[in-house]
């Protein structure tokens, strides 16, 4: 992966879902899922941030399913079983 400047944002698509990353000033990356803004996390490396935001997304989707809240169909694959 090429170098990314602090504050610069970039997008990655994994399993058909868009993830957005931003290089943090203090180091590492902040990651979110634009389709589900509650899924937000960070990591010291890009790989760690991606893994953490996928975990956050899975938790959000699992919690949304409990009370029967609507989840975008393309994100249901990330819910915990």
- Could you tell me the CATH number of the domain that includes residue 36? 3.30.160
- Whether residue 4 is contained in a domain is answered as no
The pLDDT assigned to 81 comes to 44
Q: What are phi and psi of 32, to 5 degrees?
A: -145, 170
Q: Tokens for 10?
A: 């970039």
Segments forming the whole domain that contains residue 61 = 9-67
- Whether residue 30 is contained in a domain is answered as yes
pLDDT, tens only, 43-78: 999 999 999 999 999 999 988 877 778 888 888 888
Q: Cα(52)–Cα(50) distance, rounded to whole angstroms? A: 5
User: What pTM was estimated for this model as a whole?
Assistant: 0.83
Greatest mean pLDDT among 1-5, 7-11, 63-67, 68-72:
7-11
Averaged pLDDT, 16-41? 94
- Whether residue 74 is contained in a domain is answered as no
Averaged pLDDT, 30-35? 96
Q: How many domains does the chain have?
A: 1
């Amino acid at each position: 992966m090429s170098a990314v400047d602090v504050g610069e944002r970039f997008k990655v698509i994994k399993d058909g879902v868009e993830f957005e990353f931003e290089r943090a000033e203090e180091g590492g990356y902040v990651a979110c899922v634009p389709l589900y803004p509650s899924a937000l996390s960070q990591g010291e490396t890009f790989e760690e941030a991606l893994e953490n935001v996928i975990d956050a997304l899975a938790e959000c989707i699992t919690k949304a399913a409990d009370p029967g809240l609507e989840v975008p169909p393309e994100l249901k694959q990330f819910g915990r079983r």
